[in-house]
Copies of this chain bind each other. A is one copy, B any other.
Amino acid sequence: MSEPSSKRQKTEPPEITLVYWPGMPGRGEHVRLAFEAAGVEYGDTALQKDCVDKVLAHISDKNIGDDFSPPPFAPPILRHGDLTISQVPNILLYLGPKLGLVPENDPNGVYYVNGLALTALDGLSNEAHDVHHPVATTLYYEDQKDEALRKAEDYRNNRLPKFLGYFERVLSSEPSKGGEYLYAGQLTYADLVLFQCLDGVTFAFPNYIKKVRDSDKYPKVWALYERVKGHERIKNYLASERRQEYSLCIWRNYPELDEQP
C-alpha cells in the first residue's frame, strides 16, 4: 500500500489488491472509495487481465485457503501481503485505521463507524439488491419480476424512508459533531459507504429519489452525499475511467420497480 504523494514510505510495504468482478461498481466499490478518498494506490483485478478467473479461483469450492487465511466465501476480497480477507465491512474495518478513515485516539469510534457502515450496507445495499432478486440470486430478474414488483413497493414506501430517516437522525446526533459527517465531524469510511449506497439507490430509483430530494425531508443526508461527491479525490475518481458504470450489479434500474411518474 503506497501513497502517491510526498508521504510515500521509503520501505515499500506489501502490495494491496482488491479482488472483485469486472464491469460494475458492485460491493467492490466500497473498498475502491476508501482507497481513492485516502489517495492510496491499490491493485484492482477489475482492471486486470483474467479478472474472472482470479475471482473464481478464490471462491472455488476446491479452495481451502492457505497457511494464513481461511478461504473467502465471496468477493470483494482484499489481498495484503499474507492476508486474504473478505466481507465489505470487514475489509473496511481493516483498512479504516490504515487509510485515516476512522478517528484517531478514539478507541470506541471504530465500533460506531463499523455499526453505521453495517446499517447502511444492510438497508441500502443488501436490501436494494434483494428488491430485484427477492426469490433467488441464481434466477434471472425476469423470473422473479412479480415478487420484485411487490418488494419494490415496500422498499420505496417503508424501508427507504426508514433508513434515510435513521441517517438524518445520526447526522443530528451529538457524536456527529455538527452533522457534516456521520461521526466525529470528520470523513470516515461510514460516510463513503453511505455516499455509495445513496448514489446506487439514486441510479436504481431515480423518480423516487427525485421526489424525496424535492421534499427536502432529509436535508443532512443529501448534504453529506454532495459533500462526499465534492471531496477533491472522490470527485477526480468519479470522473476517471476507474469509476465503472452501473450495470447488472447491486443497484439496477428497472423502471417498473421505481415510483411511477
Interface residues of A (CB under 8 A from B): 61, 63-73, 83, 85-87, 89-90, 93-94, 108, 111-112, 114-116, 118-119, 122-123, 126, 130, 134-136, 138-139, 144, 147, 150-151, 154, 158, 163, 165-166, 169-170, 172-176, 182-183
A64 CB contacts on chain B under 8 angstroms: 169, 172-174
Oligomer copy total = 2
**Interchain nearest-CB distance for A4 vs B (Å):** 26
Checking B68, B136, B170, B172 against A151 with a beta-carbon cut-off of 8 angstroms, the contacting residue is B136
Tell whether, in the assembled complex, residue B130 and residue A61 are in contact, meaning their CB atoms are under 8 Å apart: no
Checking B63, B65, B119, B136 against A154 with a beta-carbon cut-off of 8 angstroms, the contacting residue is B136
Closest chain B residue, CB of each to CB of A144: B150
A150 CB contacts on chain B under 8 angstroms: 135-136, 144, 147
Tell whether, in the assembled complex, residue B135 and residue A70 are in contact, meaning their CB atoms are under 8 Å apart: no
- With contact pairs A118-B89, A118-B90 given, residues A135 and B111 touching in the complex (Cβ less than 8 Å): no
Tell whether, in the assembled complex, residue A65 and residue B173 are in contact, meaning their CB atoms are under 8 Å apart: yes
Tell whether, in the assembled complex, residue B166 and residue A73 are in contact, meaning their CB atoms are under 8 Å apart: yes
Residue from A66, A118, A135 having most chain B Cβ neighbours under 10 A? A135
Tell whether, in the assembled complex, residue A111 and residue B85 are in contact, meaning their CB atoms are under 8 Å apart: yes
Tell whether, in the assembled complex, residue A135 and residue B147 are in contact, meaning their CB atoms are under 8 Å apart: yes
Tell whether, in the assembled complex, residue B67 and residue A174 are in contact, meaning their CB atoms are under 8 Å apart: yes
**Interchain nearest-CB distance for A217 vs B (Å):** 12
A174 CA to B165 CA, complexed, in Å: 45
Closest chain B residue, CB of each to CB of A182: B70
- With contact pairs A65-B174, A174-B67 given, residues A158 and B136 touching in the complex (Cβ less than 8 Å): yes
- With contact pairs A134-B135, A134-B147 given, residues A85 and B112 touching in the complex (Cβ less than 8 Å): yes
Closest chain B residue, CB of each to CB of A81: B108
**Interchain nearest-CB distance for A230 vs B (Å):** 23
A61 CA to B72 CA, complexed, in Å: 37
Closest chain B residue, CB of each to CB of A108: B83
Tell whether, in the assembled complex, residue B83 and residue A173 are in contact, meaning their CB atoms are under 8 Å apart: no
Checking B61, B66, B73, B158 against A174 with a beta-carbon cut-off of 8 angstroms, the contacting residue is B66
**Interchain nearest-CB distance for A119 vs B (Å):** 5
